[in-house]
Amino acid sequence: MKLGELLSAIDQKEVWGATDIDIQEIVFDSRQAKPGALFIAIPGTQRDGHLFVSDAIARGAAAVLVERKLALSPDVTQVVVPEARKALALVSAAFYGFPGRKLRVIGVTGTDGKTTTCTLIGSILEAAGRRTGLITTVNARVGNRLIDTGFHTTTPDPPDVQRYLAEMVADGAEYVVLETTSHGLAQHRTLGAEYDVAVITNVTHEHLDYHRTYDEYLAAKGRLFEQLATSTRKPSTPKVSVTNIDDASYRYLKQFPADVKLTYGICSPADVTAEGISLSGKGIHFTAVTPQGRFEAQSSLLGTFNVYNILAAIAVGVSQGFSFSDIQMGIQAVKGIAGRMESIDCGQDFSVIVDFAHTPGSLEHVLELARTLTDRRVIVVFGCAGLRDREKRPLMGEVAGRLADVTVVTAEDPRTERLEAIIDQIASGLEKAGRREGIDYFKIGDRAQAIEFGVSTAQTGDLVIITGKGHERSMCFGETEYPWSDQDAARKALGCK
């Protein structure tokens, strides 16, 4: 594709040099530059891409896109834009032929429950006979092919997002469900995805290391609803917003325009709600009440928080005009999700569960659920990530202190922070809840040893829940990712073969 064609996707730009240049790929890591590449210099929090423009050119980059004009050879085409991250998203969409315009795109954002809600929506779409692609923190699914999106990936970078969408179009998909994180929204990774439905799960205390305040975090989530209102309109496809009326985010998000606005909830009057909720260790049952009528909903997922996730998915199904039977089948088809209340069964006489809970709210939800699954002790093993929201650490310690009988505090991606300091911050919350080290809480930095201790401490009927890593397959120490699996560590501690 010619550079000039790509640049037509950007409104504000200044160009020095020729635009009749063939661009074969878009990169923002200079080490990936090669002849035919457009290199985009992203000002990062740790490294400024402008410092690597010369390296990209030396490797053969055909043109560079920057935020400030650089002293370069006149032979090198230079494009200056106000925001390189926005430009990266827009030229990526153009490079792949704007695939989002050829799909119905459903975006799901929120602090907790995004992956589960995406999976439920995708299952409903497939039950309704719609060929569907899926991009979540676990993986991307194109047809029957699963794509590993990398370590700690939330929303992939724009070239990857657009490539996945293009592959879905080529595979004949009609819909895509796109898990959309606050980081992804703040960094414009999904700009050009062309949303048709925007869904929020909830907005609680998380990522304040990046967004600084709750209001900034909420505003980042709100960008999904802004993009919904401004994205390309497709024939016979109304713009739909789905909001949680029981969540504090509703008051802010309800202001954004949409052709169809649906609310869901349990505590406040909502368009989509649940009556007669029955929760057990075998799953969930309730009567779904929608603007189109009522039907019975049943799921093998657990807990009140999953009632909310299911209601959000039902609201999407209703908005797309699907039958109640399709929605019912889609919900029932979801038996479990990797790293979400995932049971590890090696024949032991107590329960072991792996879950992704890594916020105060999600930890509270899963521990409250754990208490309903056993009449014996609840033992929790968890940590908090380094270089991430420090304020949540004592909050999570306090939650564990209130709801667990035994807490084992350990490593969870400490990165370049001192692990002992992170653990002490969590422990301060445990102490506030009246817990005592060496009696009902323990500090074990090595996560494998912590899991082994939690398992070895368990007695008949107890429940051990390991949280924070979930589906992830690596752990970061310093700046290095090491292979890791909570599931594998639990099975080893249990003596599984």
pTM here is 0.88
Domains delineated in the chain: 3-84 (3.40.1390.10), 96-333 (3.40.1190.10), 342-494 (3.90.190.20)
What integer pLDDT is reported at residue 211 of this predicted model? 42
Could you give the CA distance from residue 363 to residue 422 in angstroms, rounded to a whole number?
17
CA 395 to chain centre: 21
Could you give the CA distance from residue 256 to residue 149 in angstroms, rounded to a whole number?
31
- CB atoms closer than 10 angstroms to residue 391: 12
- CB atoms closer than 10 angstroms to residue 223: 20
Q: Which residues of the chain have pLDDT under 70?
A: 45, 150-154, 205-212, 497
Q: Which residue has the tokens 């869904």?
A: 199
CA 173 to chain centre: 22
Residues 197 and 316: beta-carbon distance below 8 Å: yes
Find, among 189, 187, 184, 181, the residue nearest to 163 by Cα. Answer: 189
Question: Which strands form 441-443's sheet, in the order they lie side by side?
Answer: 342-343, 351-355, 463-467, 378-382, 406-409, 441-443
Residues 306 and 299: beta-carbon distance below 8 Å: yes
Residues 389 and 207: beta-carbon distance below 8 Å: yes
Phi, psi of 7 (to 5 degrees): -70, -15
- CB atoms closer than 10 angstroms to residue 433: 18
What integer pLDDT is reported at residue 213 of this predicted model? 82
Instruction: Tell me how far CA of residue 162 lies from CA of 92, 192, 325, in angstroms.
Output: 6, 8, 33
